[in-house]
A and B are shown apart, each in its own frame.
Chain A
Amino acid sequence: MKTRIFKIVLLAVLSMLLLSGCAGGPIAQSTPGLSANDTHVFLSAANKIYKINLENGTEAWRYPADNTRMMTYAPVLFDNETFIFGDMYNKLHKLDIENPQQKAWESTDAKGWYQAKVAQSGDIIIAPNTDRNIYAFNAKDGSLLWKHEDNFAFISEPLIIDDTVVISSQNHAILFLDLKTGEEKHERLAMQGAVMAAPYYLEETGLIYVGSLGNEFIAINAMTLTVEWRYDGSIEKLSGIWAQPIYLQEQVLFNDDKGNIVSVDPLSGKENWVMPEQGNMLAGLAAVDEDRFIVAAEDGSIKIFDTNKKPLLQFNIEKAKIYTTPLVTDKFIIIAPVGAEYNLYAYPLETTGMPQWTFNPAK
């Protein structure tokens, strides 16, 4: 009979393990969020946020410090005193940057996850949420100012230009909202696919650049909020665009998820050059300095090119999958892979492929 009991218990435990395994571990699979100032890098990695010293990769603090349940991948937004981030328990937090246990406020207005970095203009915080709402909060006390509802979850960082909130929508559109009221201040711009990438504004040209999963890349006039040009280059078919473009040496550079890297003229959209299929990419490009940019592919390979598409360096992180756009500070290139030996790799700007420091949270 003991064997029978053992078999029943074993079967039940196996079933539970099987079901847990299928459920995929955490609530959702996402990618680490990165942001940095001159002295520290902030890593949002599932159940904690880590503040890490940029010089040597040591941990300054973690939040929450105890075993309080939390899940976040959203990069934090910070100033000198506080930082703000949303989590997947539907909360938006504003905390003290030196002592995160000191809470300025917490909002529980949303019913869905905060996946994207929030944006701030003056005292207004704009926070996209997966409950199909964009929320505006008072930065001082966290009170809700307005919310704007649409048909799909909002998962990309908003852009604020003067009194206009420009936000990508999975509803195949770009939305333009009034910063003060949340009303649509201009007819939404229809796109050919869901828009995952955050819009990018270039003051020099007065244009907003954005791509969609509908294999397109466009420039929008920030004044008229109409399409200035559409990319129509030599690539037979662009693939889905998931990341923001960058501006370097009077070129706008963007990449699609097949790893096509394209350089266009910012004003006309005319193609300068194309580097085809550099590997599957979800992460975007990052400018290393005035003439170089870095790109990280899903397979863990990292490449540095100059703006004439000359390859300068290639290295890879073993066993890594990279989905987060590399972050470049004054001194370092920071990579946050998943599945690799370390959570963070920091390379000097003049890197040879050897990290200066790596980071794993101490247990």
Chain B
Amino acid sequence: MNIWELIIVQPMTNILLVITMLVKNFGVAIILFTLLIKLLTIPLTAKQVKSRREMADLQNSPEYKKIMEKYKDDREKLALEQQRIYKEKGISPFSSCLPLLLQMPIIFGLYQAIMRAMASTPVELLKLERIIYPFLDVNKIIPIQNRFLWMDLGQPERLYVFGIGIPVLAILVVLTSWLQTKAMETSDAGGDASVAATTNSMNLMMPLFMGYLAYQYSAGLALYFVISNLATMLIYALMGEMNWKKLIPSKKEEVSTKKVIETSLVSDDDGEDIENKKAKPAPKPSARSAAKQMRPKKMKK
């Protein structure tokens, strides 16, 4: 057994099995275990969110933009100046990545623990048997009762309606993944259309890919995806990081964003009150992206 298995996968699998023994239902155990892990990683998520906010604020500050503009042709100098600002403000550019990196082993461990516990062939069962701690009674644990609602958690999920197998969980995975990606989207692509297009297509591709995994692989995995997506959305919503307005059809958003930008440009030129102008056109679609556009102009004034 390698170190990864020993310190991550084995303990997590055993915790999952203990929960299963306590609640006597593997589906409920997957849900509880996913929520438990999400709860335990909230401090890391909060730190990540805080760092991301600080970084975004800094990058939108006039001082930062000024440096970017001033040293755009001298990358070395630019890097030095950026480091100086980071140091002055006490911000590390990697501080938002670190909590994410710390969470990664836990997330993948959780994923592998669920996959491991859903053993349904002799080889998989043998491998599961081998990582169960000696103080747990293997014979009471194996085999795990995979039945949950209409699903067999060890196999791809289908709800049969009039003989047609509908992949309900896979559909839910696509939906919740898309909602999550869309509502947590922070980048406005810096106004670059090609980057925006790429981001948009990736935002669509990832949920579809997750849906494909949910369709093809065991229902337990799909259940984990759905619960994990819902829990992530809830946690981010509580932290004020969910932008539900992004879920409104994008055409409106584009038009109104354009209006806000145009307005802000006009206000800059003619020197009228920005707040006044901002209130006149269609309401801003995304408070954060609009604010981003507005902030430098304000500062200039």
Contact = CB atoms under 8 A, between A and B. Distances in A.
A214 B137 CA distance: 10
Contact of A213 (B139, B145, B152): B139
Interface in A8-29: 8-9, 12, 15-16, 18-20, 22-24, 27-29
A115 interface: yes
B206 A214 contact: no
B123 A9 contact: no
Contact of B202 (A9, A24, A112): A9
B142 A8 contact: no
Interface SS majority for chain A: loop
Interface string B193-214: 0110011001001100110010
Contacts of B147: 132, 151
A257 B126 contact: yes
B123 A23 contact: no
Contacts of B143: 152-153, 170, 194
Given A28-B124, A130-B155, A22 B115 contact: yes
Contact of B122 (A15, A30, A132, A193): A30
Interface in B146-161: 146-147, 152, 154-156, 158, 160
Contact of B205 (A1, A12, A27, A323): A12
Contact of B121 (A155, A192, A257): A155
B192 interface: yes
B206 A27 contact: no
Contacts, number: 110
Interface string B228-251: 000000000000000000000000
A66 B163 CA distance: 28
A323 B156 contact: no
A244 interface: no
A31 interface: yes
A201 interface: no
A111 interface: yes
Q: Bin the interface of chain B by size.
A: 35 or more
Given A22-B115, A27-B216, A196 B125 contact: yes
B121 A73 contact: yes
B120 A153 contact: yes
B111 interface: yes
A299 to B, nearest CB: 14
Contacts of A5: 194-195, 198
A193 B147 CA distance: 19
A131 B221 CA distance: 18
B138 interface: yes
A1 B145 CA distance: 51
A222 interface: no
Contact of B123 (A29, A130, A193, A214): A29
Contacts of B145: 151-152
Contact of B156 (A27, A30, A257): A27
A340 to B, nearest CB: 15
A213 B192 contact: no
B139 A192 contact: yes
A23 B217 contact: yes
Contacts of A30: 121-124
Interface in A232-266: 240, 242, 257
A22 B152 contact: no
A130 B120 contact: yes
A230 B267 CA distance: 92
Contacts of B111: 22
B129 interface: yes
A240 B143 CA distance: 13
Contact of B160 (A12, A111, A192, A193): A111
A151 B147 CA distance: 9
A352 to B, nearest CB: 30
Interface in B124-140: 124-126, 129, 138-139
Nearest to A6: B198
B198 A8 contact: yes
Contacts of B126: 242, 257, 282, 323
Contact of B152 (A27, A130, A192): A130
B112 interface: yes
A22 B112 contact: yes
A169 B138 CA distance: 16
B108 interface: yes
A196 B124 CA distance: 12
Contacts of A282: 122-123, 126
A4 interface: yes
B122 A112 contact: no
B95 to A, nearest CB: 19
A18 B154 CA distance: 21
A16 B142 contact: no
A114 B217 CA distance: 16
A137 to B, nearest CB: 19
A113 interface: yes
The 9 closest A-B pairs by CB, nearest first: A30-B121, A193-B139, A170-B143, A12-B202, A5-B198, A28-B121, A214-B139, A1-B192, A194-B143
Interface of A: 1, 4-5, 8-9, 12, 15-16, 18-20, 22-24, 27-31, 73, 111-113, 115, 130-132, 151-153, 155, 170, 172, 192-194, 196, 213-214, 240, 242, 257, 282, 323
30 contacts: A1-B194, A4-B195, A5-B195, A8-B198, A12-B202, A12-B206, A15-B206, A19-B213, A22-B108, A22-B112, A27-B216, A28-B120, A28-B124, A29-B124, A30-B121, A111-B152, A112-B155, A113-B155, A130-B155, A131-B155, A153-B154, A170-B142, A193-B138, A194-B139, A194-B142, A196-B122, A257-B126, A257-B129, A282-B123, A323-B126
Given A12-B205, A23-B216, A30-B121, 15 more contacts: A4-B195, A5-B194, A9-B198, A27-B216, A30-B124, A111-B160, A113-B120, A130-B120, A130-B155, A131-B152, A131-B155, A153-B146, A155-B120, A214-B139, A323-B122
